[in-house]
Amino acid sequence: MKSKENNGPYNIYAEAEITVEFYDLDPMQVVWHGNYVNYFEVGRRALLEKIGYSYDEMEKSGYAFPVTEVSAKYIGSLRFRDRARVKAILMEYENCLMIRYEIRNAQTGILTTKGTSTQMACDVMKHESCFVCPPILIKKIEAFIKGETP
């Protein structure tokens, strides 16, 4: 029986848990909408580390991946001290790095936010945008797909 979860075309995803802090709240005592992008970052870092391309590895390889687009849909709210589970799902890696996010209340499992981010590779030494992802990232993802651990 196939799972109802949509883990993207490559079935590569990572999850991370965060605790909502007081400084994340707005005057209505819910997480300020802009902070969900920070939570996406927590998931993205976990995903990159899972495939063996951490920010340290990225820097050593001579590439940066600035965000070129981000979107979020707010479905529910998180509040102070809530535990949230951030899931980052790889959607594209050949021409750009596209990641889909789901944020759920870890206690209830209720989906609170979903979104996407797109990142474009840049060659740090040449100060140039790359219109395809660098071979090092593609090799790491393809090795991960084959079950080779990073």
Residues recognised as catalytic: 26
Q: Is 57 helix (H, G, I), strand (E, B) or coil?
A: helix
Q: Where are the beta strands (DSSP E) in the chain?
A: 13-19, 63-64, 67-74, 83-92, 97-105, 111-119, 122-123, 128-129
109: Cβ contacts below 8 Å, ≥ 6 apart? none
**Spatial distance between the Cα atoms of 139 and 128, rounded to a whole number of angstroms:** 21
Helix or strand run (H / E) with residue 43: helix 35-50
